Chains A and B, each alone.
Chain A
Amino acid sequence: AQRVTQPEKLLSVFKGAPVELKCNYSYSGSPELFWYVQYSRQRLQLLLRHISRESIKGFTADLNKGETSFHLKKPFAQEEDSAMYYCALSGTYTAGNMLTFGGGTRLMVKP
């Protein structure tokens, strides 16, 4: 079975502070990990995926297979980063690309 855990429901930081949104996963094979973001009144959209190893809007995430984690980080938070963030996993051994999501973390960046 595959599972994604986001231990924090809410993370509140001040503008300019570093941000780390935690994500831990459980999967027996080689997973593909994603971060999705949902801004207020907008649809869920892909923020980044581990295989592309890119930085989007200043966010990065490194897959740590030893700790089964895929934490999302940003060195200096901006007010426009306030949103719901979901970590998701896709198993490479399953047909199709079914996503298993974590419960989400609401990031609030205070001025």
Chain B
Amino acid sequence: DAGVTQSPTHLIKTRGQQVTLRCSPKSGHDTVSWYQQALGQGPQFIFQYYEEEERQRGNFPDRFSGHQFPNYSSELNVNALLLGDSALYLCASSLGGLSGNTIYFGEGSWLTVV
């Protein structure tokens, strides 16, 4: 089991552009969450997908959107990129999204906005 896998690992975008990050959950997991980790800070929750719907959302603007596919993989889209969007984006998966189930993290996608 490869665990949670994310792509791409690194990318550079220009202000105003759009970016799509991808995540495959750990085998058997049906819930995917996305976190943003700015340099020197802890991860911040963006949103969670379960059964192809956004179930919970953190304090992020509508420029951040996502999608979950029938195979439970997920995408994070960010529109109109700002310099402040530069961060490590972490995908996490779990089963059922229930409190008490262990959450597994991917290695992340490093986004640099110039």
Residues of A within 8 A of B (CB): 4, 6, 9, 32, 43-46, 51, 86, 88, 90-92, 94-104
Segment of B50-58, B63-71, B76-84 in the binding face? B50-58
Give the tally of cross-chain contacts (CB within 8 A): 70
Known: A43-B108, A97-B99. 6 other contacts (CB 8 A): A46-B102, A88-B42, A95-B97, A98-B33, A99-B35, A104-B41
Taking Cβ atoms with an 8 Å cutoff, the residues of B that contact A are 3-4, 31, 33, 35, 40-45, 48, 50, 55-56, 58, 90, 92, 94, 97-108
- Chain A residues with Cβ below 8 Å from B106 are 43
Point out the residues of chain B lying under 8 angstroms from A100, CB to CB. 45
Residues of B within 8 A of A86 (CB): 42-43
Q: Are A101 and B31 in contact (CB under 8 A)?
A: no
- The 9 A-B residue pairs whose C-beta atoms are closest, nearest first, are A101-B42, A96-B97, A44-B105, A43-B107, A96-B56, A96-B48, A97-B99, A103-B42, A98-B45
How far is A32 from B108 in the complex, measured between Cα atoms in Å? 24
Chain A nearest CB, measured from B111 CB (Å): 17
Nearest residue (CB) in A for B59 is A1
A48 CA to B58 CA, complexed, in Å: 24
**Contact residues in A for B31 (Cβ distance below 8 Å):** 96-97
A91 to chain B, nearest CB (A): 8
| Complex-state Cα separation, A92 to B100, whole angstroms | 9
Contact A97 B101 (CB under 8 A): yes
Kindly state the separation between the CA atoms of A96 and B101 in the bound complex, as whole angstroms.
Answer: 10
